[in-house]
Structure 1
Amino acid sequence: MMSPTPLCLAIAAALSCPAAAFAQSTQPADKGKAQDKPVQKVEVKGSASTYDPRRDDTASKTVLSAEEIRKYGDDNIFDVLKRAPGVTVTDKSIKMRGLGAGYTQILVNGDRPPPGFSLDALMPDQIERIEVIRAASAEYSMQAIAGTINIVLRKVVSKPQRDLRLNATRSPLQRSGTMGGTWGDKVGTLSYFVNGSLFGGHNEFHSRGADQLSLPDGTLAQSRLTRYDGGGAYRGGVLFPRLNWKIDADNELNLSAGLQASSHAWSGFSHNENLAGSFGNPDWIDMPGRTSGDQWMMRGEIGWVAKVAGGKLDVSLAGERSRDENDNDTDYYSAGSAHHLLRDWDTVYRPRRMSFRGKFARSLFDGHALVTGIDASRQRNEDSRDRVDQQDGAPATHVVEAYEPQVTRLAGYVQDEWSITKQWSMYLGGRWEGVETESTGTNVPVTTSRSHVLSPVAQTLYKFPDKSGRQVRLALTRTYKAPTVDQLTARRYLSALNTRFAPDSSGNPGLKPELANGVDVAFEQYWADGAMVSVSGTQRLISDYIRTRLDLDPDGRWIYRPLNDGDARVHSLEAEVKLPLRMLNAAAAGFDMRASVTRNWSEVSTVPGPDNRLDGQTPMSANVGLDYRRDRLSFGASMAYQQGGWVRVSDAQIRHAHTRRDVDAYAAWKLDPHLQLRFTLNNILGMDGESESVYEDAGGLSRQASWQQGATRVGVNLELKM
């Protein structure tokens, strides 16, 4: 009998069988005796499913698999993410550590989404996995003060894959339908994959609001109620084709594309009911409006993977173009239609981007895994706005505005993951990023802004010996948040009726990026069958904090404008548990429970208390879910909780967010190995959207409150594998 091959020895080691003993047991003590005995067949099986990136990777992250993503039959990415531990979703704003507005980095396939890419149009069945990365890594951009969410789209396949999904949802406010599918196969050295979907539906919106201003002596100077009712239809399609060519043992070529297209047509009616005072001259009371738009995005990428110098070189070149065109017509009427303003504003956004990414990885001596790379991109927008205003039959005012910002990014990084011992691993990395923003436009001065940040990062993982399942993590990071193009440009967006309730907005070319020094610590305990408990804490010390301030200009117009204003401190505490209930009682076999809770605090040095927190931060969030699976039947339910409360934005501004409890449920029945029927319920409690803000200065105290109707959605999915 032959000696065991290196592959057999590797498998034996992976299964914790001593390689020497395995080899010794297969060597015959006597050749004659070996010929007399029948040869025994030994079959060794191993599975990649035993690898858990959350448990085994030095960098801290949670991975939502394709099965978890599709479990609830969601028709959008936001409903998927609101059940992820440590993640909150509010009005399509995705947050980690309760922080949105640029603090949480959203990536698609490890890169910033291309211009015109819409997360709304991304269907869950087009996603392979979602990585929730708590501490920054040098390979990705360090613009991740709160963390990173990386959405990885489905790729080429190694075996035939054909499936079709039909989805229909309905609520008192919405009806929609989606048809999507996947077609993938491998032919010789070529493998291909096509995933796409068509969608359409109709939405309705009903909102109410209240505005009031009290003078310093308590006199009610202004008060009104507002009402908006509207809705409309939408439709679109998404297509993601990919092609992989394995040229030889050392070279591989990848081609991929992305196409998104959609259109919408809305109409609505706004009405203001004045209870005290007036809100302008003329004071617009009734405002019927119509808007329609078309959007498309296309993307192409070519990549080459090669074995070079004992390592792997991965380079890619990508180009993207998109167009977003909107036509908005609104009529403004004063009381009794005494005055009439017709406003026709057409906007066209035409961004395009070219990007290059290169990465080289190889193993070095003593368990080192070295990765180095560069990222470069240039994005240019061609935006235009065609404004036509005509009041009371007078000659129309026609203004055409152009705006052309350009953003150039360059980054280089290096990282080393070192397995010091079987229990202890270390990650060291650094990334330099530079950003240059230039903008020109009609009646806007040319502005240029340059910034660069050097970000070191260190992470370590220690696993306690004797397979106890206990491990601890520590991460030290330097991350940042760069100002957006709109925040950097001096372009001014004029409000139709300028008041403290509806101000203008403008940027600030002098803004500097926010810098954050952070520390993350975590303790994790893992057991068999996927059970685990995790407790973690984080802190971020932020300098040059950017906040948006409401001011009264010398010309008498109210305006929102960003500025760097002091320092901020953010800290969070998070706990998570996953538990198959059969570990507690055999009668509960098939039930899996999961729960997480996050508590967030923050304070800004230049803002007085109480309720001093970063704008929009969720003070506490929690997720709890229970799933059951047995034979062909599975069902489950979950609740995502977000605590509301007051936030003091500045010495004059405070805002209030209401508490939300989003309860979802699903039931799936596998009719046969190829066909599954799934029923879903979203927002079972029918939670509405509510908010409130207060602004107080020498001129008085103003309050604004808004409410938007919510409703329970019922859905049915048919999933067919061919």
Structure 2
Amino acid sequence: MEPELIIGPLAFEPGTINNCPERNNHLSSASHPVQVQEMFSQPFRCGAAALLIFPSLVLAQTAPASVKAAKPADKTKDTSTAQIQTIEVKGSAAHYDPRRDDTASKTVLNRDEITKYGDDNVFDVLKRAPGVTVTGNVLRMRGLGAGYTQILVNGDRPPPGFSLDALTPDQIERIEIIRSASAEYSMQAIAGTINIILRKVVAKPQRDVRLSYNHSSQNRNTSVNGTWANKVDQLSYFLNAAAWRGTNDYASHSDEEFYLPSGQISQSRETANNGGGAWKGMVLLPRVLYKFDNGDELNLNGSAQASSNESAYRWVHTAQFGAWPRPDYAEGQGGTPAKQRVLKGDVNYVSKIGGGKLDLTMSAERSRFTSDSDNVMYTAARASRLERNWDTTTLASRASMRGKFTRSLFDDHSLATGFDASRQKDDQARDRHEQTDAAPVTETIERFEPRIDRFAAFIQDEWNLRQNISAYVGARWEGVQTESSGTNADGGISSRNHVLSPVAQFLYKFPDKSGRQLRLALTRTYKAPTLDQLTSRRYEATLNTRFSPDSSGNPNLKPELATGIDAGYEQFWEQGGMVAISVTRRAITDYIRTALVVDPNGRWLNQPLNDGDALVHTLEAEVKMPLKSLIPSATGVDMRASASRNWSEVSTVPGPNNRLDAQMPLSANVGLDYKSGDFGLGATLVFQKGSWVQVSEAQSQRQLTRRDLDAYALWKLDPRYQLRVSVANILGTPGSWYERLYADASGISRQAHVMPGAIRTGVNLEAKF
């Protein structure tokens, strides 16, 4: 039966708070799941609708004075001596700072900070951001990664098949790092939210192009990025295009050993891996805006992304001691060419209505991903071989609608309410061919067709309790229904969950414009299981070991729920300096842990399950200031530094080091920037402390301590041209390094892996026409 989505009246956007009209576009907040039950049951459909309907009824009865009908004048009253009192209110967007003025804690990276180092991807940009760490292509806040840290593009989840690798820094207007959840956005933000805002329509002509080349001993990459934008009367248009291509080569080394309980080594082997490949792609981002005479706006936005890559690899096991279970594949090679296409379009209409602003967006997305994985493995002396060919095609589509209505209510209140509904469909087909030695080829065709329906409704209110005290309260109801079918009986999924998430945040500014302020946030957030975690179908590893097991999902998973409290102190100075200290606590229930077990067939299997609780604590500090405030002669030099200390415990895993999600215990960065006339340079040192993590009673792993030093120099050759030279990973930190242990009654298995790193240089030429 199709779920019934009840969409009530839309909602209200904050008005003028703290004399800052621009604040309406920069609200953020947090939220609060209470319990998990059947998502689309009648009581909760009514509850979601009431969340929207009630504020609308209130607004209908409490129109502000500016829109009420004027009363007839009292002719008996003498007006000859009446005086008209004039109140003048002044405000400027130039004085608005979301970090300082928003009730919810937020850090915003502007375009200058995003493009400063000439990076060719968003991950290198964010690794220098305060409170953010990057592990591979996983973005982490509070040391917690995918699922705990929410990633948004323009306030929405990226479409199916979309990759952040396709976003170049030139296409980004700003990046918002939101430390607490927001009722307006999804509540899947236990650690926080990173919202990437793409560039949009401009108010004046813009024609520019940027040519980039990055080189290291492992990678070569060339890209071109251009923007063409203008405004003609009431019509504005914007087109950004980027194209890139590159190649890479890599080599890595790993060791695997097994020790008996007595400490005697019984197995040992080394593995050499090498490979490489090429990639290319392009993306187009067209936008058109038309402003009507009555102030309404119509926005048409689109994006088209196409990319492809080809990779090849070879590995060789060299046995040092002992025998390995059969089939003992000693050598393997293969390749995985892949292609990806993503199309998206949306229509946005903004209208002033009912004393407020209505913002409606309808969007549609479609993607296609194909890959051809060829693998051949041999035993020693090529006595036996296994050939495996998997062809996979995934078609994904999503349609969504979002609405928000905002307006001022009573004195100093900014009320907003809205909804978000979407349906996503995937169609995955996999054609598997396998052959062992001279045996006939076996063919298996698998299909997997999941459908995900989401509906959310929210309400939020921000107001000034007093001149120096502002508050934010909100709530968001989110429901998710997942259904799927497949060719195999265990491929089906049926899952329904809902979460109700309230939030409250407060900002107190000390009097006398001292620049000192306190923050407090109370939140309830959640982490939903992914589609792969819910899928019961099994993926079989080519070499089944403790360190490369099979994997399967669990349709009975429930979301993780988190109750949180955030408190912070901030100090701002007129010269542009600031210092901030904050502490957070997250108490998580129904923690999802991946358990490693041995199945009845003797194969190792990874499978997720809800297992116990977890507790997370974080202490963060940040400072930014012009260096001349400390050293008067250091003009033109800006200093910035941040540090994050993270702790966590999982109740069902024995300590010590039983941290959640391989949490990074300590990260820090410090940077200096110098500018004089048309010349500028800067450097940033990023530190991430690695350590042992107890994953389960038997499993533990150790991560690399990373030290990344990056630098840049910028010359403005003339008003039209500028040249940027950058150097990344100056210290040559390895690309990846880890060590894993598995210990049980039979002994200890150990695996260590290292991939060398390389210094990367880049040259960027930017031109304006």
Which band: TM-score by shorter chain? over 0.9
SS in 1 for 2:575: helix
Deviation at 1:46, TM superposition (A): 7.8
Query: Among residues 228, 241, 244, which one is paired with 1:183 in the alignment?
Result: 228
* Residue identity in the other structure for 1:98: G
1:186-240 deviation digits (Å, cap 9, x = unpaired):
1111100011100001011211111122232334232211111110111000111
The match for 1:528 is 574
Query: Among residues 704, 711, 730, which one is paired with 1:658 in the alignment?
Result: 704
2:722 pairs with 1:692: no
The match for 2:675 is 629
1:492-550 deviation digits (Å, cap 9, x = unpaired):
10111222221100001111100000000000000012100000000000000111111
Distance between the aligned counterparts of 1:618 and 1:209, measured in 2?
23
The match for 1:89 is 134
Distance between the aligned counterparts of 2:692 and 2:198, measured in 1?
38
Q: Quick check: 2:538–2:551 contact (8 Å CA) kept in 1?
A: yes
Deviation at 1:699, TM superposition (A): 2.7
* Residue identity in the other structure for 1:719: E
Deviation at 1:247, TM superposition (A): 2.0
1:411-463 deviation digits (Å, cap 9, x = unpaired):
00000001122211000000000111112222133220111110000001011
Distance between the aligned counterparts of 2:324 and 2:365, measured in 1?
44
Higher strand share: 1
2:425 pairs with 1:380: yes
2:149 pairs with 1:109: no
* Residue identity in the other structure for 1:212: E
The match for 1:301 is 346
Q: Quick check: 1:216–1:701 contact (8 Å CA) kept in 2?
A: yes
Deviation at 1:649, TM superposition (A): 1.1
Please give the residue correspondences for 1:22-61 in structure 2 after superposition, counting only pairs within 5 Å. Answer: 48-61=93-106
Distance 1:278 1:300, change over 3 A: farther
The match for 1:98 is 143
Deviation at 1:485, TM superposition (A): 0.5
The match for 1:147 is 192
The match for 1:434 is 479
1:254-308 deviation digits (Å, cap 9, x = unpaired):
1000111111111111111112233332211111112211111010101111111
Distance between the aligned counterparts of 2:680 and 2:92, measured in 1?
24
Q: Quick check: 1:600–1:619 contact (8 Å CA) kept in 2?
A: yes
Distance 1:649 1:267, change over 3 A: same
Distance between the aligned counterparts of 2:467 and 2:201, measured in 1?
33
Query: Among residues 325, 337, 342, which one is paired with 2:382 in the alignment?
Result: 337
* Residue identity in the other structure for 2:367: S
The match for 1:576 is 622
SS in 2 for 1:487: helix
1:634-687 deviation digits (Å, cap 9, x = unpaired):
000001110000011111111110100111000000001111000000111111
Q: Quick check: 1:279–1:499 contact (8 Å CA) kept in 2?
A: no
Distance between the aligned counterparts of 1:212 and 1:507, measured in 2?
29
SS in 2 for 1:486: helix
Please give the residue correspondences for 1:543-622 in structure 2 after superposition, counting only pairs within 5 Å. Answer: 543-622=589-668
SS in 1 for 2:536: coil
The match for 2:755 is 708
The match for 1:720 is 767
The match for 1:223 is 268
The match for 1:313 is 358
Deviation at 1:45, TM superposition (A): 11
Deviation at 1:586, TM superposition (A): 2.9
Larger relative contact order (CA 8 Å, sep ≥ 6): 2
TM-score normalised by L of structure 2: 0.87
SS in 2 for 1:677: strand
SS in 1 for 2:440: coil
SS in 2 for 1:256: strand
Deviation at 1:47, TM superposition (A): 5.2
Distance between the aligned counterparts of 1:646 and 1:331, measured in 2?
35
* Residue identity in the other structure for 2:758: A
* Residue identity in the other structure for 2:673: D
* Residue identity in the other structure for 2:757: G
Q: Quick check: 1:444–1:490 contact (8 Å CA) kept in 2?
A: no
Unaligned runs of 5+ in 2: 1-18, 21-88
Please give the residue correspondences for 1:257-406 in structure 2 after superposition, counting only pairs within 5 Å. Answer: 257-406=302-451
Q: Quick check: 1:280–1:497 contact (8 Å CA) kept in 2?
A: no
The match for 1:468 is 514
* Residue identity in the other structure for 2:269: R
The match for 1:413 is 458
Distance between the aligned counterparts of 1:222 and 1:407, measured in 2?
46
SS in 1 for 2:466: coil
SS in 1 for 2:731: coil
Distance between the aligned counterparts of 2:483 and 2:99, measured in 1?
40
The match for 1:251 is 296
1:372-416 deviation digits (Å, cap 9, x = unpaired):
000011111111111111121221111111111111111000000
The match for 2:165 is 120
* Residue identity in the other structure for 2:512: D
Aligned-residue CA RMSD (Å): 1.4
Q: Quick check: 2:332–2:375 contact (8 Å CA) kept in 1?
A: yes
Deviation at 1:471, TM superposition (A): 0.3
Choose 633-642 or 439-448, whichever is displaced more.
439-448
Choose 163-172 or 380-389, whichever is displaced more.
380-389
Distance between the aligned counterparts of 1:49 and 1:608, measured in 2?
53
SS in 2 for 1:323: strand
* Residue identity in the other structure for 2:688: Q
- Percent identity of paired positions between Structure 1 and Structure 2: 59
The match for 1:23 is none
Query: Among residues 541, 546, 555, which one is paired with 1:509 in the alignment?
Result: 555
Aligned length: 681
1:44-78 deviation digits (Å, cap 9, x = unpaired):
99852321100001111000001100001100000
Unaligned runs of 5+ in 1: 1-9, 12-43
Distance between the aligned counterparts of 2:570 and 2:619, measured in 1?
14
Distance between the aligned counterparts of 1:451 and 1:489, measured in 2?
16
